[in-house]
Structure 1
């Protein structure tokens, strides 16, 4: 985002000319990083949601675990992705894979079953997806604000994040 080509070269342990040779511009390099980050995200998420014989509740827990773990491992990745999408909202690599549309249809069925069973309030699948992503991502995207607003040390913040899954699950499911 704000890194110079020299910063990137230094971090990679190569000279700046090598970056220019392979990528020709900072924008091309960032596009490649964005493309690989999105591909990796979708591939790993596909593995998580494609597990066999999971109840909807276990599926949601797995997705929450995945999102929180990813953000802990790569705390600035989401900021990078959001910044790149804000720069170019039509990035071809940001499009959803075809299987994601099928998963959304399955999600609608799962939600309908949970609502019928009385374990969830009615919600459209699209809102459910945005809510789940928001509940997992916001504490990372706004870490300095979160830490300041509730007066958390770094250790307190890590503990706070470790409590997120249980809090999110209680927000989603009425019987917890």
Structure 2
């Protein structure tokens, strides 16, 4: 049996990510993924025996990427507000490029269970929460359980993008206008989370 070409394997995963995360084709078949990747289905099955195996590999890569972005942002040597602004900028940029990734991750976690979540590191999050608590003592943000502060931050970032198809219809806005609203959110989120001092 020939050796597997890791370049082809990664190309298949990258193509699947584009279909799932950028285009929202969450139920793409192995045939659709193979066609988009420019390989036949036999080749795809050579690298991934089933769609489930391919989806699991994509999920693990996405979770590693999420964990890495969180770690880099949360451990940066910056004042807390600047660090939070950076988290917002980094995550909004990623979410705009891959608007369906959050939906994919939540769906897979709910379908396959918590055992999938192995790559998220808690130390950077604990450090960030400790900094949030210190900022609350300084009075720069409202006093609350710091976990609520972080959940608020992530909710303000991700929920509008997860709900984008409904919001575009509900508010009668074009894709371009909705993108402009999302571009405004970074500064708006900072104003909502931090007190003006």
Is this a same-fold pair by TM over 0.5? Answer: yes
Give TM-score scaled by structure 2 length.
0.81
Partners in 2 of 1:88 and 1:124 — Cα distance?
A: 30
Q: Which runs of 5+ in 1 are unaligned?
A: none
Give the TM-score normalised by structure 1: 0.90
- The 3 A distance-change label for structure 1 pair 112 and 90 is closer
1:41 aligns with 66
Alignment-derived partner of residue 157 in structure 1 = 178
Structure 1 residues 73 and 127, CA gap change in structure 2 (3 angstroms)? same
Q: Is the 8 A contact 2:136 2:142 kept in 1?
A: yes
Matches within 5 A, 1:123-142: 123-142=144-163
**CA displacement 1:3-33 (0-9 Å, x = unmatched):** 1110010111100111112111110010001
Number of equivalenced pairs: 172
Q: Distance in 1 between matches of 2:126 and 2:55?
A: 33
Match of 2:23 in 1: none
2:98 matches 1:77 = no
CA distance in 1 between partners of 2:74 and 2:135 (Å): 17
Contact 1:45–1:66 (8 Å) recurs in 2:
no
Question: 1:11-61: CA deviations, max 9, x gaps?
Answer: 111001111121111100100010111112211222222222x11000100
Partner of 1:171: 192
CA distance in 1, matches of 2:146, 2:136: 12
Alpha-carbon RMSD: 1.6
Aligned equivalents of 2:119, 2:38: Cα separation in 1? 34
Gaps of 5+ in 2: 1-25
Q: Is the 8 A contact 1:111 1:123 kept in 2?
A: no
d(CA) in 2 for partners of 1:105 and 1:31?
27
Does residue 95 of the first structure (1) align with residue 118 of the second (2)? yes
Q: In the TM superposition, what is the alpha-carbon distance from 1:77 to its structure 2 partner?
A: 1.3
